[in-house]
Structure 1
Amino acid sequence: MLTAAPQVVESPAMPAGRQRLRILDLLRFCAAFAVVLFHFGDTRAWGGPNAFPTLSAVTMFGVYGVRMFFVISGFVILMSAWGRSPGDFASSRIARLYPAYWASVIILGALALVGLTTDHRPTLSELLANLTMLQHGLRIRDLEIVYWTLWQELVFYVLIAVFAAIGITYRRCLAFLAGWLFLLAIAERVNADLLQAVLIPFSAPYFIAGMALYLIHRFGGSLLPWLLVGAGWALALVQVLGENPPAVQRFGEALGSALVVGVISLIFVVMILVALGRLDGIDWRLLTVLGALSYPLYLFHHHIGFLLIGRLHAPLGKMITLPLVVVLVLALAYAVYRLVEVPLQPRLRAALDRSIRADAGYLDGRG
Structure 2
Amino acid sequence: MPQTAPSSLDASHKLPAKQILGVDLLRFFASLIVMCFHLCFFVWAGGPGATARTAAKSSVQFPELRFFEFGSVGVQIFFVISGFIIAYSAHGSTAYDFLRGRFVRLVPAIWLIAPLSFAALLAVNAEPVSALIVKLVKSLLISPFGPWLDWVYWTLPIEIAFYGLVYLLLLLKRFRWLEGSIIFVGGVSTIFWLARRSWSFLTGEPLLNLPHERVMELMLICHGCFFAVGVLIWLLIFDRSTTWRWISLSFVTIGCVAQNGAFIGACIWLASVALLYMSAKFNYVFRDQKKALAVARTLGLTTYPLYLLHNAVGGALMGYLVRMGLDPYPALGLTLVAMVLAAACIAIAAEPIAQRVFRSIFDLFGGLVFARVWGRKGFSQT
Q: TM-score, normalised by structure 1?
A: 0.81
- Contact 1:32/1:297 (<8 A) preserved: yes
1:23-78 per-residue CA deviation (whole Å, 9 max, x = no partner) reads 2111111100111112111213494475151x432x22211111111110000011
What is residue 70 of structure 2 aligned with on the other side?
61
Unaligned segments of structure 2, at least 5 residues: 45-55, 196-207, 374-382
- Matches of 2:10 and 2:151, distance apart in 1: 41
Matched, 1:181 2:186: yes
Aligned length: 335
- Contact 1:273/1:279 (<8 A) preserved: no
- Contact 1:212/1:225 (<8 A) preserved: yes
What is residue 88 of structure 1 aligned with on the other side?
97
Q: 1:261 aligns with which of 261, 266, 269?
A: 266
The one-letter code sitting in structure 2 at the alignment partner of 1:208 is A
What is residue 62 of structure 2 aligned with on the other side?
51
Unaligned segments of structure 1, at least 5 residues: 242-256, 361-367
Matched, 1:293 2:302: yes
What is residue 48 of structure 2 aligned with on the other side?
none
- Contact 2:299/2:344 (<8 A) preserved: no
The structural deviation recorded for 1:260 is: 3.1
The structural deviation recorded for 1:306 is: 1.0
Matched, 1:336 2:346: yes
What is residue 160 of structure 1 aligned with on the other side?
166
- Matches of 1:154 and 1:260, distance apart in 2: 25
User: Structure 1 169/29 Cα, relative in aligned 2: closer, same or farther at 3 Å?
Assistant: same
What is residue 215 of structure 1 aligned with on the other side?
235
Q: 1:70 aligns with which of 71, 76, 79?
A: 79
1:242-278 per-residue CA deviation (whole Å, 9 max, x = no partner) reads xxxxxxxxxxxxxxx4323322221222222134226
User: Structure 1 194/162 Cα, relative in aligned 2: closer, same or farther at 3 Å?
Assistant: farther
Q: 1:347 aligns with which of 341, 357, 364?
A: 357
Q: Secondary structure at the match of 1:284?
A: helix
The one-letter code sitting in structure 1 at the alignment partner of 2:173 is G
The structural deviation recorded for 1:213 is: 0.6
What is residue 356 of structure 1 aligned with on the other side?
366
The one-letter code sitting in structure 1 at the alignment partner of 2:251 is A
Q: Secondary structure at the match of 2:311?
A: helix
What is residue 246 of structure 1 aligned with on the other side?
none
Q: Secondary structure at the match of 1:232?
A: helix
- Matches of 1:168 and 1:270, distance apart in 2: 30
- Matches of 1:33 and 1:114, distance apart in 2: 25
Q: Mapping of 1:4-19 within 5 angstroms? A: 5-9=4-8, 11-19=10-18
The structural deviation recorded for 1:195 is: 7.7
- Matches of 1:38 and 1:221, distance apart in 2: 36
The structural deviation recorded for 1:101 is: 0.4
Identity of aligned residues (%): 23
What is residue 337 of structure 2 aligned with on the other side?
327
What is residue 20 of structure 1 aligned with on the other side?
19
- Cα RMSD (Å): 2.9
Q: Mapping of 1:139-158 within 5 angstroms? A: 139-158=145-164
- Contact 1:216/1:275 (<8 A) preserved: no
